[in-house]
A and B are shown apart, each in its own frame.
Chain A
Amino acid sequence: MTAAIVSICVIAALWLGASAMLYRVMRRPPEEFGRVMMKIPQPAAFLVLPFETLWLRARAGTLAVGDHAPDFRLSTIDKTSQVRMSELTAQAKPVVLVFGSYT
């Protein structure tokens, strides 16, 4: 009986520890996070750990609805011109931003 309780406690502690570590890694810059994920057995880790819940929290970010959108000035793909966020908003039109990559 005691052995059963002890093993349940050990498993729970391991699970919590692993979840906490994963959460911390998720908050690191993308490349660092990716390099850690490479070494984690998948999909086992996704099945055992609450990946999505941790991810949504870890990557929630600091910007909130109502905050001023941070300015940026970035080159277009063909590098012929630059786009500045504050110039877009100065046109008094809403702006949709789509962030993403290929892979």
Chain B
Amino acid sequence: MPALNKLYEEYRDRVSFLVVYITEAHPSDVWQMQSNVKDKVVFASPRTEDERSSLAGTCVRKLGIEIPAVIDEFGNSTEAAYTAWPDRLYLIDRNGSVAYKSKPGPFGFHPDELREALRRVVPGSGTSSPQS
């Protein structure tokens, strides 16, 4: 998450950023991970919209997410449309077309790739490729 906050700070004037909180990857009642138990990140699946938004709020606070965040609705329609679970990154260009789509997380979640994609899509961005 720090890498994404950093990109947000760098690009927020030229690019819109949005975190979409989707259905939990490893809730305690479905597929508990020992690493989460160690980190005390233990939560059951939210059963109502209110529980989901409360957990989403906790997620944003604890992970220190600075990017504006929205919550996928209970039917997970946005997750399904973007095949986003458990985590995934997208860059949509100014015409509304997909410019970069990461591989599915956790294996495919690489903010570095997103940084590369931003360099391609946003003119004159990045310190290593100065504007001519």
Contact = CB atoms under 8 A, between A and B. Distances in A.
A33 B96 CA distance: 31
Contact of B104 (A59, A95, A97): A59
11 contacts: A65-B98, A74-B70, A77-B71, A95-B17, A96-B8, A99-B87, A100-B88, A100-B109, A102-B58, A103-B41, A103-B42
Contact of A68 (B36, B88, B91, B97): B97
B93 A96 contact: no
Contacts, number: 203
A63 B98 contact: yes
Contact size range, A: 35 or more
Interface of B: 4, 7-8, 11, 14-27, 30-33, 36, 41-43, 45, 53, 55-60, 62-63, 67-73, 76-101, 103-105, 107-109, 114, 118, 121-122
Interface in A32-76: 34-35, 37-38, 52, 55-56, 59-70, 72, 74-76
Given A83-B68, A92-B94, A100 B21 contact: yes
